[in-house]
Each structure stands twice: as C-alpha cells, then as structure tokens.
Structure 1
Amino acid sequence: MKKMYVIGALLLVAMTWGCSSRGGSAAGGALGGAVLGAGAYEYNAHRQMQQLDQDYKAGKMNKQEYEIRKDQIEKGSLFQR
C-alpha cells in the first residue's frame, strides 16, 4: 500500500512540475502519463497477487502451482518482490 502512495505522490509532483512552464507542460504531461501507466500496471499486479493468495488458501492450486504463478507476477512487476 505504501508503494501506491509513493506512485501517487510522484504523479502529483510530475503534474505540478509540468504545469509550471510552457516547455515543461509537454514533458510533465508525458512524465505524468508514464507514472500513471506504471501505477495502473502495478495495481493490477497487486490485485493478481491478492487473487493468487486467495486461490491458494482456498485450495484451488497446490504449492508448486502457487510458486510458479507468484514468480511470473513478480518478474513483471517493479514493486512485487
């Protein structure tokens, strides 16, 4: 959850910085879009991990399947480690 706050803070800073000048507007918009895209991707990885944990606890998969899927999610994420 703390990671989501960090991403949100970075987005806010990027948007504020980008609007401070004409030249910075385009760069800030691009940076803000990149941060927003990364944040959405990380949120999706977070939700996948939650669902994976629920499925494992419910007995829908064994330990080996759980570990394989967990590794796949972690490899595609910046923060899920």
Structure 2
Amino acid sequence: MRKFAAAAVLLGSMFMVSGCAALVGGAVGAGGTATGYEVHLDNERDRVEEAYKEGRMSREEYDIRVDQIRRDSAVQ
C-alpha cells in the first residue's frame, strides 16, 4: 500500500509540472528521491518493529521511533 501511495505521489508531481521538458525531468528526479526516501522509511519501520518484537527495544522507545518515522513520512 505504501509503495502504491509513493508511486501516486510521483505521478501526481509529474502532472503538476507543465511546459518545459527540463521541468518534467526535475519533477521526475524529485519524485524518485521522495519515493526512495519513503522506501527507506518503510524499511526502517520494519526494522524497528522487528527489534520491538524480539525484545531489543522497550515499548516507550518503540513508540518514540514509530512517531518519528510517521512525522518524517510524506505519505501518512
């Protein structure tokens, strides 16, 4: 679901730009960067959840980390 949302953000950013091909290229580059960052956050969220389930992280630390990841994400 998150990958679909990231792809939707990428496509939306491409359609918002009109005119010059250089601007479209810039929008694609920015969209690709944003998508890569969302994938990184998704991986980090999985890593934090795994650490919590294995008992390497307290509930308080887990909640703090998940909240940080949620605030950093453009797709909520």
Runs of 4+ more than 2 Å apart:
5-14
| Unpaired segments ≥5 residues, structure 2 | none
Q: Sort the Cα spacing of 1:10 and 1:60 in 2 relative to 1 into closer, same or farther, 3 A.
A: closer
- Counterpart in the other structure of 1:4: 3
* Structure with the greater alpha carbon radius of gyration: 1
| TM-score (normalised: structure 1) | 0.75
1:1-81 equivalent positions in 2, closer than 5 A: 2-8=1-7, 11=10, 14=14, 23-79=19-75, 81=76
| Unpaired segments ≥5 residues, structure 1 | none
- What's the offset of the Cα at 1:10? 5.5
RMSD across aligned positions (CA): 2.5
Which structure has the higher relative contact order (CA within 8 Å, separation 6+)? 2
User: What count of residue pairs does the alignment treat as equivalent?
Assistant: 75
